[in-house]
Chain A
């Protein structure tokens, strides 16, 4: 029975994308959020599953932190970000009584909740389900991959910042993908370069080119560089739709190009 229902809740999804990184704070949630917004911009229907249980960021980034999850006959109804219900979101953030509550859970509990997220959320018809993950290669990742494995096509986007410390952790994440047979859609280099708003001088705060070099080294596609952009950070803080509001900012073309590559990749795969 359970299997039948699980299939029921995920069969309407055409593609699942995991957003991974070995390193924390490189912009996994940012990329997940902007990717969802950009995919909606191209007329797609998107769901986001936030499996970062100890530090859920997506609800705030989409300004739905005060919403609650409801239950229906088939399971949990995700939170819809807009009236048109083009972006739906499920996160542990919606289950907390107080926003500052710490989820002090060891692995087994986290695994149980992730499995419930996968089996019990009523996503409906989606073009893409984006799964945002915490940093590392541990419980959440093993459980998410394990639970989502039956639903193809499944792919991963790896996020890194340019400096060697971060690239080192993402190398390990690539090994994780290899070991678990997860297809790597590509690598995104985030926070590459900051253009001073006063004098337009570009400073490579966290150096540059590390992500591209890693992609070449590992023979996986490189999807692009997203520059540091105060407008982007600000819109994420305030839960604005960056793609809609700041089409002239330096990070905008980067997101559009990354999204286009994902859309093209999917076309190539289905045809």
Chain B
């Protein structure tokens, strides 16, 4: 597929400048499409939404689904009211749509040169996923013999370019695909932020377009030989998360690091994320509790800005039987370093937060990945026991 036309939209004949703003999304906004309830049968009884949720992985194989598409692999495919007039109606009705996406195989081929793949997830926003991803990448890249790649699939709110000091950089194209932007020789970064013309540009995209972009990031970027691919995600359990797991399903993901803050409002979303991991059979490397306690720089007393009213990540990890990788205290320096696009680990090497980060990155995270096979067995037991209970 030619990269220039496929930028931002896998279907041919679409204007290239749509990477910045999706004309389709805007068009849909102005015209106000008609609405039929297909594939979702929400009744007020408890549990109905959950039941519908289990079918939520459908419709994954298609790129340009209409808003009310029942999904290519559902029983309704090609038969629903909204399928009338869809160019793919016959294809869907024949059942061909349920076949796996050929891209999965292509991505597996591409990912052969990538040894480890780690996802950074959280159900809650603003807990420090990007900060952790960026610093995991920085930390790992300190070993010059290792090649690190950082992929940002937060399509609507890409923070990684700024955190890595790469704002305003552009992606270059070569015969073998898009080239990542390099911070150091052994640290390459890819983000939708590099494809935007101005920092004001909003990526107003619905799910299918975001999925297309993620597929391209995996298939069409010239990653080269990589030891660790770290994937930073947006909050939630929706399109981006399903897509990355699905596209990498044949390529094998080592596992997910889940980030949370100590308060219950955050933990309740993180429990959902852990459930998501179980549902899609994604191994959990462990949980990191961020923003845990603040030490006043003047009086050195500690305050709980986000109080762990239900015991914080520690109790949650015990309850759900997932490992706790560590706790990182709040430090105003972290935010400042991220704003300046510098590695906090080298900027303030002796801060307690740096030590906590290093501890997680060097000993635990890697050990878990390296001991993946052993770990995986126990994780499977966790998953099994969860399913049985």
Give B275-292 as 1s and 0s: 1 = Cβ < 8 Å from A's Cβ atoms. Answer: 110011000000000000
4 A-B pairs besides A25-B124, A104-B57 with CB distance below 8 A are: A101-B272, A109-B39, A180-B29, A207-B335
Nearest Cβ distance between residue A118 and chain B, in whole angstroms?
Answer: 10
Q: Which residues of chain A have C-beta atoms less than 8 A from B264's C-beta?
A: 60, 237
Interface flag for B177 (CB, 8 Å)? no
Cβ < 8 Å to A, chain B residues 33-48: 33, 35, 37-40, 42-44, 46-48
Cβ < 8 Å to A, chain B residues 281-329: 294, 296-299, 301, 303-307, 309
Q: Number of contacting residues on A, CB 8 A?
A: 85
Contact B339 A207 (CB under 8 A): yes
Q: Which residues of chain A have C-beta atoms less than 8 A from B39's C-beta?
A: 108-109, 112
Contact A55 B303 (CB under 8 A): no
Chain-B contact segment, one of A42-50, A81-89, A124-132, A139-147: A139-147
Chain-B contact segment, one of A10-18, A226-234, A242-250: A226-234
Interface flag for B332 (CB, 8 Å)? yes
Residue contacts A-B, CB under 8 angstroms, 8 given = A55-B236, A95-B49, A107-B67, A112-B37, A138-B204, A173-B202, A201-B298, A237-B265
Interface flag for A205 (CB, 8 Å)? yes
The distance in angstroms between the C-alpha atoms of A68 and B46, with both chains bound, is: 7
Contact B156 A136 (CB under 8 A): yes
Kindly report which residue of chain B lies nearest to residue A57, judged by CB atoms.
Answer: B265
Give B256-267 as 1s and 0s: 1 = Cβ < 8 Å from A's Cβ atoms. Answer: 000001011110
Contact A96 B49 (CB under 8 A): yes
Chain-B contact segment, one of A164-172, A254-262, A263-271: A164-172
Interface flag for B91 (CB, 8 Å)? no
**Contacts A198-B301, A205-B332: A138 and B46 contacting too (C-beta < 8 A)?**
no
- Please report whether the interface of chain B is mostly helix, strand, loop or mixed according to DSSP: loop
The distance in angstroms between the C-alpha atoms of A189 and B275, with both chains bound, is: 33
Interface flag for B68 (CB, 8 Å)? yes
Kindly report which residue of chain A lies nearest to residue B203, judged by CB atoms.
Answer: A137
Interface flag for B171 (CB, 8 Å)? no
**Contacts A138-B204, A196-B301, A234-B307: A145 and B335 contacting too (C-beta < 8 A)?**
no
Nearest Cβ distance between residue B376 and chain A, in whole angstroms?
Answer: 21
Q: Which of B60, B155, B162, B238 is the one whose CB lies under 8 Å from A110?
A: B238
Interface flag for B244 (CB, 8 Å)? no
Contact A165 B60 (CB under 8 A): no
Chain-A contact segment, one of B108-116, B137-145, B205-213: B205-213
Among all A-B residue pairs, the 10 with the closest Cβ atoms: A24-B125, A25-B126, A107-B207, A97-B47, A136-B156, A54-B236, A95-B49, A199-B299, A175-B202, A55-B269
Nearest Cβ distance between residue A43 and chain B, in whole angstroms?
Answer: 28
**Contacts A104-B276, A146-B29: A135 and B234 contacting too (C-beta < 8 A)?**
yes
Contact A61 B126 (CB under 8 A): no
Contact B57 A172 (CB under 8 A): no
Chain-A contact segment, one of B20-28, B96-104, B179-187, B350-358: B20-28
Interface flag for A32 (CB, 8 Å)? no
Q: Which of A60, A109, A145, A161 is the one whose CB lies under 8 Å from B268?
A: A60
Interface flag for B237 (CB, 8 Å)? yes
The distance in angstroms between the C-alpha atoms of A268 and B157, with both chains bound, is: 34
Interface flag for A92 (CB, 8 Å)? yes
Interface flag for A41 (CB, 8 Å)? no
Nearest Cβ distance between residue B303 and chain A, in whole angstroms?
Answer: 6
Interface flag for A215 (CB, 8 Å)? no
Give A193-217 as 1s and 0s: 1 = Cβ < 8 Å from B's Cβ atoms. Answer: 0101111010111110000000000
Interface flag for B224 (CB, 8 Å)? no
Nearest Cβ distance between residue A47 and chain B, in whole angstroms?
Answer: 17
The distance in angstroms between the C-alpha atoms of A173 and B202, with both chains bound, is: 7
Kindly report which residue of chain B lies nearest to residue A169, judged by CB atoms.
Answer: B157
**Contacts A179-B21, A237-B265: A71 and B205 contacting too (C-beta < 8 A)?**
no
Contact A22 B309 (CB under 8 A): no
Interface flag for B336 (CB, 8 Å)? yes
Q: Which residues of chain A have C-beta atoms less than 8 A from B298's C-beta?
A: 196, 199, 201
**Contacts A138-B205, A198-B301: A76 and B44 contacting too (C-beta < 8 A)?**
yes
Q: Which of A54, A146, A171 is the one whose CB lies under 8 Å from B238?
A: A54
Nearest Cβ distance between residue B18 and chain A, in whole angstroms?
Answer: 13
**Contacts A102-B279, A146-B32: A136 and B234 contacting too (C-beta < 8 A)?**
yes
Q: Which residues of chain A have C-beta atoms less than 8 A from B274's C-beta?
A: 100
**Contacts A54-B236, A61-B265, A196-B301: A100 and B202 contacting too (C-beta < 8 A)?**
no
